[in-house]
Amino acid sequence: KKIVEYKMFVDSSAISTVYEIPVKVVYGSLSTVTKSVLVRVQGTPQFEIIDVKTNEINPGDRESLNIQVENTGTGTAKKMTATFTSSSEMIKPIFSGGSVYINEFGIGKKEWLKFDVLVDQDAEYGVYTGAVALKYNDESGTNHTNTYNIGILISGEPRFDVVKSEINAKTRELEIEVIDSGTAKGVAIRGELWVNDKLIDTDYVTQIKIDKKSTLKFNAPVKETTGVLKLYYKGPDNKEFAQEEKIAWKPIGGANTILLLVGVAATVLLIWKKPWRKIKLFKKKK
């Protein structure tokens, strides 16, 4: 017997399988024999995230996060466990909804990984970072772990509450203070003051961030002390919103003061013109 060794080059794109290689053996000058040699090539699994799908996620929602993964490598992965984690406390997987098990993930195959998550009620609009960890064995039983970062968009809506409404004694304007108590900032805000179904005045604010306040100023009605504040504004992705708030305010103090002064002046004038003003209370002695 004689052992003959040959060096072989395996292409990087070769996948895991058993290859049959013909070997030609020549005896002397006339005898030729061809034998087949079986060579097993073991590839390496490699994964890529090719798609992420979900419904619009809002604060307080329970949603499914669907991530499509493809094995672009040259080997089969076995006993795979995919786990989702979030870098923020605002997004949490629900029980076993944060883990997916796949017994065998073949070459060129695609799989959807479904994770159930719960978004905190106080989550604000923005992109939150999450991670998907893939733990699996290759064909030789060696353990591997790959981690991939993904972005999760949490939507939100602006929402305004009236903090107070009062008339400024100096400017004689009705000032209405509002606060954004929603989950996204409001932009291009237009405020309208309506009294008795009539538009009294309009004011504008560029933007109001979450939990921030701003003041809308209007020409104050002379007699009325109640009305409606109509707000028109935009939120994320230029989505338009509208809301109405009933408001009330105290009357202008200056008007009552003027009436009081006029009343006092009229009383003094009346007293001055009365006949008894000319009566002498004391007479000189003769």
- Can you give the pLDDT at residue 2? 75
Reply yes or no on whether the pLDDT at 286 is more than 70.
no
Reply yes or no on whether the pLDDT at 51 is more than 50.
yes
Same domain as 166, residue 150: no
Identify whether the C-beta of residue 82 lies closer than 8 Å to the C-beta of residue 71. no
> Is 189 a member of any domain?
yes
Domain of 243, CATH number, reads 2.60.40.1930
More confident residue, 14 or 110: 110
| Residue 7 phi, psi dihedral angles, 5° rounding | -85, 135
Same domain as 197, residue 141: no
> Is 52 a member of any domain?
yes
Beta strand 99-105 with 77-86: parallel, antiparallel or unpaired? antiparallel
- Its pTM stands at 0.66
Same domain as 231, residue 175: yes
> Is 76 a member of any domain?
yes
Identify whether the C-beta of residue 92 lies closer than 8 Å to the C-beta of residue 66. no
Judged by DSSP in three states, 261 sits in: helix
Q: What confidence tier does 273 reach under pLDDT thresholds 50, 70, 90? A: low
Question: b/e map of 109-137 (b: 16 or more CB within 10 Å)?
Answer: eebebebbbbbeeebbbbebebebebebe
For the segment 75-90, what is each residue's pLDDT rounded down to a tens digit?
999 999 999 999 999 9
Could you tell me how far CA 18 lies from the centroid of its own chain? Answer: 51
> Is 139 a member of any domain?
yes
> Is 258 a member of any domain?
no
Reply yes or no on whether the pLDDT at 1 is more than 80.
no
**Percent of the chain scored above 70 by pLDDT?**
88
For the segment 125-149, what is each residue's pLDDT rounded down to a tens digit?
999 999 999 999 998 889 999 999 9
CA distance 201 to 227: 12
Same domain as 147, residue 111: yes
Same domain as 79, residue 53: yes
Last residue of a domain, one of 154, 182, 203: 154
Handedness of CA 235, 241, 242, 247 (dihedral sign): negative
DSSP-derived letter for residue 200 is: E
> Is 146 a member of any domain?
yes
Average pLDDT over residues 237-254: 89
Domain count, the chain: 2
Last residue of a domain, one of 89, 124, 154: 154
Same domain as 224, residue 191: yes
> Is 233 a member of any domain?
yes
Same domain as 101, residue 180: no
CA distance 260 to 162: 33
Average pLDDT over residues 193-222: 96
- Can you give the pLDDT at residue 253? 61
> Is 272 a member of any domain?
no
Reply yes or no on whether the pLDDT at 185 is more than 90.
yes
Same domain as 144, residue 95: yes
**Residues composing the chain:** 286
Angle at 253 between CA 252 and CA 258, to 5 degrees: 110
Average pLDDT over residues 51-75: 92
Q: How many Cβ atoms from other residues are within 10 Å of residue 10's Cβ? A: 12
Last residue of a domain, one of 154, 188, 222: 154
Domain of 117, CATH number, reads 2.60.40.10
Reply yes or no on whether the pLDDT at 41 is more than 80.
no
Lowest mean pLDDT among 28-37, 57-66, 73-82, 175-184: 28-37
- Can you give the pLDDT at residue 282? 45
Residue at 91: amino acid letter: I
Average pLDDT over residues 31-36: 82
Mean pLDDT of all residues in the chain?
86
Range of the domain at 178: 160-252
